[in-house]
Amino acid sequence: MAVLVIAEHDNATLSSATLNAVTAGAELAELGPVTVLVAGEGCRAAAEAAALVAGVAKVLCADDAVYAHFLAENVAALVVGLAADYSHLVAAATTTGKNVMPRIAALLDVAQVSEISAVVDADTFVRPIYAGNALATVSSNDAIKVITVRGTAFEPAAAGGGNAAIKEIAAAGDAGLSAFVSQELTKSERPELTSAGVIISGGRGMQSGENFALIEEIADKLGAAVGASRAAVDAGFVPNDYQVGQTGKVVAPELYIAVGISGAIQHLAGMKDSKVIVAINKDAEAPIFQVADYGIVADLFKALPELSAELDKEA
């Protein structure tokens, strides 16, 4: 068994989701080493960060302008050229991993196992289907397994303690099919949704984007990330990257506070593995209360300022 984890990074540091993927890779690689591929432009620092991750035996660094924006067409060509040395190709089930991994699988003529939540053995995996309302155990007979990993299901590997060798590898060229134009990334001082310990999310009940200030005030007192339901994103209250759910981000913080969110199955799919769930909703019949550890039936416009004030009091 030899496992290649395709890293997601910003050229300087690895994404937290990659550390979860390394853990899944280590479970797969009981009999062999975990190699991490860092492809980017000016990505040496990220490769050095990968070399320090516990459990990583080797880092491949492909530093070239064609990987600057991790275009799937170019990254897939690189990975396919490396694939013969590995039994498993693994990436985090982020938008980056979801974009590139199926392209690699198809070029290798193998299936992909999407968003696994557990490793049973080297060929067998558990993955959620139907928005997490069922868990399928699937087995792959393909020679190379292409896998994406649900971050919340695997502990992150320790970012330090490793001492892997870094090998520079040649780029595989520009496929010439696509080009990066621009990006608009949401800037925030708050923690990332997928790795935050506390998340407070708003739904349609927030009524407007301005009202999210009530949530942000509490988020800052708790050191929390801010999320949203699909309804709140569709209504334009907050950007798309706030969305928690079946097709948005899957999160499992220590504490998830759902405010003005009714609890559609598509939203529950993204947060029901949270350790403690609090629901604030004026509708006592809202399905969110069926998964909440603590519920408050109240008007959020009264409850949020009161919660904010209460958090200021000494414990």
Partner 1 sequence: MKVLVAVKRVIDFNVKIRVKADNTGVETANVKMSMNPFDEIAVEEGVRLREAGTASELVVVSLGVEQCRETIRTALAMGADRGILVHTDAELQPLAVAKLLKAVIGRESPDLVILGKQAIDDDSNQTGQMLAALMGWPQGTFASNIGLGDAGAAEVTREVDGGLETVSLELPAVITTDLRLNEPRYASLPNIMKAKKKTIDTVTPEELDVDVAPRLVTLKVEEPPKRQAGVIVDSIPDLVQRLRNEAKVI
Instruction: Give the footprint of partner 1 on residues 200-229 (CB under 8 A).
Output: 222
Q: Which of residues 64-83 bind partner 1 (CB under 8 A)?
A: 69, 71-73, 76
> Which residues, 6 or more positions from 306, have their beta carbon under 8 angstroms from its beta carbon?
none
Q: Which is nearer to partner 1, 84 or 315 (CB)?
A: 315
**Binding residue for partner 1 (CB under 8 A) from 12, 65, 129, 165?**
129
Q: Which is nearer to partner 1, 83 or 198 (CB)?
A: 198
**Binding residue for partner 1 (CB under 8 A) from 1, 102, 166, 217?**
102
Q: Which of residues 238-297 bind partner 1 (CB under 8 A)?
A: 239-241, 246-247, 249, 254-255, 265-266, 272, 275-278, 284, 289-297
What does DSSP say about strands 198-202 and 118-121: parallel, antiparallel, or unpaired?
Answer: unpaired
**Cα separation of 231 and 20, whole Å?**
29
Q: How many residues in the shown chain lie near partner 1 by CB under 8 A?
A: 91
Please report how close the Cβ of residue 115 comes to partner 1 at its closest, in angstroms.
Answer: 7
Distance of CA 159 to the CA centre of its chain: 17
β-strand partners of 303 = none
Distances from the Cα of 44 to the Cα of 9, 62, 70, 164, 285, angstroms: 11, 9, 15, 14, 53
Please report how close the Cβ of residue 44 comes to partner 1 at its closest, in angstroms.
Answer: 22
Work out the burial of residue 212: count CB atoms within 10 Å of its CB; fewer than 13 is exposed, 13-18 middle, 19 or more buried: buried
Which positions from 11 to 40 touch partner 1 by CB under 8 A, shown as an x/- string?
A: ------------------------------
139 touches partner 1 by CB under 8 A: yes
Let me know: does 32 contact 1? Beta carbons within 8 Å. yes
